[in-house]
Amino acid sequence: MASFKPIRATDAIHVEGKHLYKSDGTPFIVKGIAFPTPPENMGAQQNYGYDAKAWLAILHQLRSLGLEFNTVRLYRLHPSVNYSEFFHGAADLGVYVIVPLTAAEGPGVLDRKLAAPSCYKRKLFVYGARAVREYLHHPNVLAGMVGNEVMNDEKAWLAAPCIRAYARDLKVFMDTMVDEGVAERTLPLIYAAQDSAIIGGATVDKDEVMRLTVDYLSCAEEGKRVAVVDVTGEDSSSSEEFDSFSDNKFGQSPIDIYGVNIESWCSSTQDFFLNPDGTPGSYYSLWEALRNISIPIIFSEMGCPHSQFDKDDLERKTKEGTRDWAQIPIVLDDMADSWSGFIAYTYDGPKDFNMFSGGPWDGKKTLTPTKDFENFKHQLHQMSNFKSNSSKLGDADYLPSQCNDVETELMSCCDVRLFSDNKMPSYSTMVDARTGRVVHNNMWLTTVPFLVALGATALIHRRSQSKKDLMVGISLLNGSSSNSGYKSIS
């Protein structure tokens, strides 16, 4: 069995600059596997497929097989279910968890078919607020997924402002929980993008699409500069100015981590720099395109379809399309200056990506490992004694792009005109941070500039680089936009 350390209350992972860190200040690298999803027909009466013993049996199986992993990504949870037994059991096994904050159906849907602002429903925020109240108390919940492959076709890009608005509201809500003593931390938020060449109605280089996506989701809004002042008395003369929506209240962007779902590395002759056909390597070109991003990046799903692996190489191709997982050392070493790991896809799910046979998973029994899994385990084991060279970590703090610049680029390259961020609704005060109950009044619906102006006289907690708690005063240094003409949405 692979060695591991249980995760304790002080072991929550945090975001600092463009990397993830443990509580002791050492970098945290995600070495994960996608967790299987219970059968879709299991609804509320079946606890949405939740069976703590069966779920933990999979983690115990992976440990007993010697897999040196530290994270799983879950795809279907429901905030009405208490998952404490699973989270506690996973922590005892040294496993962090990425949780979903949206759903495929019901109130948790962020509808990509609707353009902003209609895609952001008040019921989505209620769903997400209740979810973070349920999950963030567990130190091994690494991050919450606010969207998965939302902007993946021509029309879906018009829903992009809804992702920013949803993430921003969740951050305000979690900060309120911390301020009121309901929680001790906020949960990092992640968005997972499909590695695709589609953006709006245009076909653009895939790497440029990935850059534009994260630039938009992490961009700073022009005209909203926030002064953060130390009012503890230790250094009362100092103040800092940030070119982001807010340095801590919203993080340096609505999202904290950027995920890429990638299906490349489909040949056993592939290397980092070159594809088999001599073109630039898919991982290399993506690494080059995203090196200057201001937030951490991971592969939120990583793995070539079995049907595509070595498909044109008659000497190497296997009937099962067994993958070699040779990209793992690349991600953990060559890309470590700007990438923070991966989630391998998958234990069980779509047949073309499975590492275990005997499925689909029934939500009860563990499945049988395949040669594909053995290759995955071997590549991780090869890196078990590898110590990431701290000099490879990008120490430079990159400021986020300005939203006006990103929106101009989206228009010029791809004819994408997005709904104004300033006019997106905010539901951040709709749920009581202490009770989780919906607040029934007519005052909760506002737009973003109003929220910022309202916060101009408020004091918030901020953690300095020296990890000391500070009281922070927020001042709006430039004017806010008008709220006139805003139309409420359902």
The share of the chain scoring above pLDDT 70, in percent, equals 80
Residues 6 or more apart in contact with residue 134 via CB below 8 angstroms: 79, 82, 83
Q: Is 241 a domain residue? A: no
Q: Is 35 a domain residue? A: yes
Residue 294: which CATH number? Answer: 3.20.20.80
Give phi and psi for 93, each to the nearest 5: -95, 5
Spatial separation of the C-alpha atoms in residues 380 and 33, rounded to whole Å = 11
pLDDT beyond 60 at 188: yes
Q: Is 244 a domain residue? A: no
Nearest to 262 by CA among 318, 320, 209: 209
Q: Could you tell me how many helices (H) and strands (E) the chain has, helices first? A: 10, 20
Number of domains in the chain: 1
Q: What is the pTM of this model?
A: 0.86
Spatial separation of the C-alpha atoms in residues 155 and 141, rounded to whole Å = 33
- Omega into 107 within 30° of 0, i.e. cis? no
The share of the chain scoring above pLDDT 90, in percent, equals 72
- What is the reported pLDDT for 388? 61
pLDDT digits (tens, 9 = 90+) for 370-399: 999 999 999 999 998 776 655 456 556 678
Helix axes 206-217, 160-179, angle to 10 degrees: 40
**Interval 358-380 mean pLDDT:** 98
Q: Is 265 a domain residue? A: yes
Q: Is 228 a domain residue? A: no
pLDDT beyond 80 at 458: no
366-381 burial, b for 16+ CB within 10 Å, e for fewer?
bbebbebbebbbebbe
pLDDT digits (tens, 9 = 90+) for 201-230: 667 889 999 999 999 999 987 544 332 222
Q: Is 71 a domain residue? A: yes
- What is the reported pLDDT for 235? 33
Which residues constitute the domain of residue 24?
14-223+249-445
Spatial separation of the C-alpha atoms in residues 175 and 167, rounded to whole Å = 12
Residues 6 or more apart in contact with residue 298 via CB below 8 angstroms: 30, 190, 257, 258, 259, 260, 339, 340, 341, 342, 343
Q: Is 461 a domain residue? A: no
pLDDT beyond 60 at 489: no
Spatial separation of the C-alpha atoms in residues 462 and 197, rounded to whole Å = 39
Q: Is 469 a domain residue? A: no
pLDDT digits (tens, 9 = 90+) for 261-293: 999 999 999 999 999 999 999 999 999 999 999
The number of CA neighbours under 13 Å toward the Cβ of 290 is 33
